[in-house]
Amino acid sequence: MNRRRNALWLGLLAITLPLAAIAAPQGLQPEQLATMDRYSSPVLTPDGAKVIFAKRVVDPKTYKASTALYSKSSSGTGKATQITPAGWSVNSPAISADGKTLYFMSSKNGSSQVYSVPVGGGTPVALTALPLDVGGFAISPDGKKVAITMEAYADCSDDLKCTVDRNKTESERKTTGVVYDRMFVRHWDAWNEGKLNRIYVAPLTAPIKDAKMIGSSLKADTPSRPFGDLSEMAWSPDSSSIVVSARVADRDEPRSTNFDLYQIPADGSAAPRNLTAANKAWDTAPQFSKDGKTLYYRAMKRPGFEADRWQLMEMDLASGKTREIAPKWDRSAENTMLVDGGKSLLTVANDLGQNSLFKINIANNQVTPLISKGTVNNVAVAGNKMIYTMNSLQSGDQIFVSDLNGANAKAITPSASEILGNVKFGEAEQFTFKGWNNETVHGYVVKPWNYVEGQKYPVAFLIHGGPQGSFGNGWSYRWNPQTYAGQGYAVVMIDFHGSTGYGQAFTDSISQHWGDRPLEDLQKGWKAAQQKYSFLNGDKACALGASYGGYMVNWIAGNWNQPWKCLVSHDGVFDQRMMGYATEELWFTEWENGGSVINNAKNYEKFNPVNHTKNWKVPMLVIHGQLDYRIPVEQGLAAFTALQLQNVPSQFLYFPDENHWVLKPQNSIQWHNTVNSWLRNYIGSDSR
């Protein structure tokens, strides 16, 4: 074909094919990660015929996000139909028991309220017109009532007027000083305003302009802060009561993980009844049996430990007698739901670098894996269908429909590759090696997007946070290994001792051992990865981490700095001793260090990065957000000062409007560009 005909042919091809189909391939870029469509919140109609889900889109010019709800046949055929109007930015879809009405929340009119719309589409109608923002809602099984969560001042009891009036008074106050008389003056990214999340109940008759608080004598956040949701609450089948998971908001709250299950009459006629007072650790996620006689829930055994194993529990409500379901299953259950007419539980759990779906027979404790690859969540069952979301190292969440046993799964939303047609993702592979105590440790290697056999590539060595967490087969919009693979780097990630999904003893092993056992795993994992994968260029490598990963980067800077050409520490602990005084959730530092900083100071100094700053030599980028109250910004500033005082090449990236995470799209792009520039400066780039 001559050049003229070739040019004509390419021009015609450009007219007939989508741009993504003919654009040159590339690796994942920060702008694409920040603006790509996201799918979430799937719910099934009661007959299992339709799936309702949320789709979030971002304007690539303004970076403004909006979310709408869509409906699609659970068969996977046909196009999705948009149900809610464009620009409403909705969330929390729920379907009525008869399958005719869709409820959701939106702040379209300036206040977060509940709306309804026919499942087939139509004009939304305001269900609530309350003077306070609605945080969440749950329709009663009989369809006659709705439970609503809203913030109220702790000393306000039944009516809304008390909080409305106090809000007005506070807004008109001329002074700004606030006096506190107990801890939790701030939590996660907000200062304590003296308010609690409370539960109100109202008749399900629009428009709801008033609601009655129930359980007002229980002074607690329901749902919990900062990440609690409606899985912490359950209506009884007869709609007469609600069971909630709550921790009393008293002086011990910052040092306690003692969440109990309380049963509250829906009409507010009696005080809450504590169902799990005997367990001084965490109880949550209540679910009633169909007859209302049995309560299923998740519980931990050890007070003060937020990463203890989640057990599955069964309680006879008449006697209060409890038993553990599948006690020999050494995994931590999450997001459970009853199936098989109440004979089985579905649950997801971290398992060997995956977040898998399991079915557990309640009577005989038999555990059956259903889906064992990727990261599964948001499971729901109706009719003969099961839906769930799944993501992986190759794609963000897709919504799948399958048979009740997970077979014949079909994706009804696109993968990242389908959304970003010209992006090529790096291939991932899991590997194992012998780590601390000669025990098996797992890790992942991700190839650069432009991998060519026989070439070597610079390496981004990522260290996960938690520390009881995992860099498993999942997708992230913050620390995503594909963004490094997209720059031409190979990626190495180690699930060191302390990681979840490998048995509770493995998870427990890091407590009071932050600086030795996981460091040994990282060192041995780095060596094992280089021996196994010849494309890793060990002479051009940078180590990066956030939260505990940031702590480990600070620890590495003084204790294992030889392999690294550069370091990146995001929201990392610099001074363990000051962390023990300045953080908000004190149970965490006290468990991890074997006591309070006052009574056990030597443990805080044992693995304290601040004591090894004289050995800091490797160039480091330090990142921190002003609204991070988990690991306060002074920790990042202090690390940067230690570097500057010793003339170690360093930069400090500061976000005045971000918390422990970087959430705003444009800030996320700046974060990635700054990190990528830092890496390019010290280990180059093979992204061409």
Residue 322 token pair: 């409890």
Type of residue at 68: A
Residue 415 token pair: 């993968």
98 flagged as catalytic: no
**Count of residues in the chain:** 688
> How many whole angstroms separate alpha carbon 474 and alpha carbon 483?
14
Q: Is 484 helix (H, G, I), strand (E, B) or coil?
A: helix
Rg of the chain, C-alpha, whole Å: 26
Q: What are phi and psi of 431, to 5 degrees?
A: -140, 165
Closest by CA position to 550, among listed 532, 527, 567: 567
Contacting residues for 191 by C-beta, under 8 A, at least 6 apart: 178, 185
In contact, 99 and 119? CB cutoff 8 Å: yes
In contact, 248 and 155? CB cutoff 8 Å: no
Type of residue at 633: V
CA distances from 261 to 69, 138, 311, 347, 412 (A): 33, 17, 15, 20, 37
Q: Is 166 helix (H, G, I), strand (E, B) or coil?
A: helix
Tell me the HSE value of 214 on the side-chain side, using a 13 A CA sphere.
Answer: 25
547 flagged as catalytic: yes
In contact, 294 and 277? CB cutoff 8 Å: no
Strand blocks (E) in 74-177: 81-82, 90-95, 101-106, 113-118, 125-126, 136-139, 145-153
Type of residue at 389: T
Residue 539 token pair: 């002479």
> How many whole angstroms separate alpha carbon 636 and alpha carbon 570?
8
Query: What are the DSSP calls for 616-635, one per residue?
Result: --S-EEEEEETT--SS-HHH
CB 630: neighbour CB atoms within 10 A? Answer: 22
In contact, 390 and 371? CB cutoff 8 Å: yes
CA distances from 158 to 71, 162, 267, 332 (A): 38, 8, 12, 38
The catalytically annotated residue of 547, 650, 668, 687 is: 547
Tokens 């949320």 found at:
54
CA-CA-CA-CA torsion for 562, 564, 569, 575, nearest 10 degrees?
0
Cα-to-chain-centroid distance, residue 584: 19
239 flagged as catalytic: no
> How many whole angstroms separate alpha carbon 571 and alpha carbon 567?
13
DSSP run (H or E) holding 602: helix 601-606
Cα-to-chain-centroid distance, residue 132: 26
> How many whole angstroms separate alpha carbon 456 and alpha carbon 538?
9
In contact, 506 and 513? CB cutoff 8 Å: no
The catalytically annotated residue of 464, 497, 660, 672 is: 660
Secondary structure letter of residue 503 according to DSSP? -
Cross-strand pairs, 430: 444
The catalytically annotated residue of 628, 668, 686, 687 is: 628
In contact, 660 and 625? CB cutoff 8 Å: yes
Residues acting as catalytic residues: 547, 628, 660
